[in-house]
A and B are shown apart, each in its own frame.
Chain A
Amino acid sequence: MWKLRLILFAIVLTVALTLILVGILGTEHPLPTRFGEPLWESYLGSDPLLIREYSFA
């Protein structure tokens, strides 16, 4: 039973780390931004209220 748990844990962990790496290195926008610019740039020095308008109508 513990073997199965450990195998499943390893699979989920591998998938998670792969997704994170693909998200950071393989895509232009790891996290969504309102105007399409990469997350890091949109956060540096930009008006934080841009983000605050994002989730609300």
Chain B
Amino acid sequence: MRAMTIHIKRRIVQLAAALGINWYLFWPYLGNYTRAFCVPALNCWTCPAAAFACPIGAIGTSMANNLFPFYALGLVLLFGAVAGRFWCGWICPFGLLQDYTYKIPTYKLRIPHQLTYARYFFLFGTVFLIPYLANTTKINFFWCQFCPAGRIEAGIYEKFVHPAWPEIWRLLVLVGFVLFMIAAQRGFCRVFCPLGAIFGLCNKISFWRMTLSGQKCTSCGQCQKTCPVEHRFDTSPDSPDCIRCLDCKKCKFTAIGHGLALPGKGAHTGQTKDDA
């Protein structure tokens, strides 16, 4: 019952965040002031409803203009330092979309762990290096040119405003992403998302984090079955793959918790506030 409540809470927060990040749909007269702020989520700022900026779009476009993305990168690191990939599990509207598309009954894929390292390629390659070297955003390998969040949130609207048949490769890439999201749980988050790559690196040092009680954990592996990213929590509570959705708190041994990184609390060392 406790875990079910967490799941419902998360859905409510995700929906509220999706609407809040795209409040321009409901109140377009407030002005564009909030677009100066990057949210910790993949929400294309080209979307007409987007009230905030996408940090990855901001970073990539800065690099394409040969400007170091001080502000956008600083915001991303701030969010990552505070809570790691918590934003992926609770705030990102694209993550919410994936949670629901995975419910479509089809053949499901298991993603090999090695494939999850590809998101670092997309981060350093398509967000930093390629736009910087090309000195333009009008290159097909720039992240925003094929980002599915942008295609779905803004590209569809753009085709109504500027009707035109989309380039075939863009359509194929989008269809590929959507099919992948249907077949693999949080597949995009695990394999492609550059924002998740940065936040994942911050999982190890974030102020808010997950904890594991070594004394209570029996290594039953149930956490992996409930985990949206199929992560075995007891092997690495601060894994870069963990989106901190707290679904694993269904653990019947109550071995999994969360809290602030304060003195006396340890993760994966068998120590918790109760044990210390």
Contacts and interface: CB of A to CB of B under 8 A. Distances in A.
B71 A23 contact: yes
Nearest to B37: A31
Interface string B193-220: 0000000001011110000000000000
A55 B78 contact: no
B67 A55 contact: no
Interface in B129-183: 137-138, 144-145, 150, 154-155, 158, 161
A54 B142 CA distance: 12
Output the residue of A16, A26, A31, A46 with the most chain B CB within 10 A. A31
A41 to B, nearest CB: 11
Interface string A13-51: 101111111111011011110000001100110101101
B235 interface: no
Contacts, number: 125
A16 B61 CA distance: 19
A19 to B, nearest CB: 3
Nearest to B140: A57
Contact of A24 (B71, B207, B265): B71
Contacts of A26: 70
A50 to B, nearest CB: 10
SS of A interface (majority): helix
Interface in B66-118: 67, 69-78, 80-81
Given A31-B36, A55-B61, A56-B46, A16 B81 contact: yes
B214 to A, nearest CB: 13
A2 B264 contact: yes
Contact of B58 (A9, A13, A15, A31): A31
B236 interface: no
A31 B144 CA distance: 15
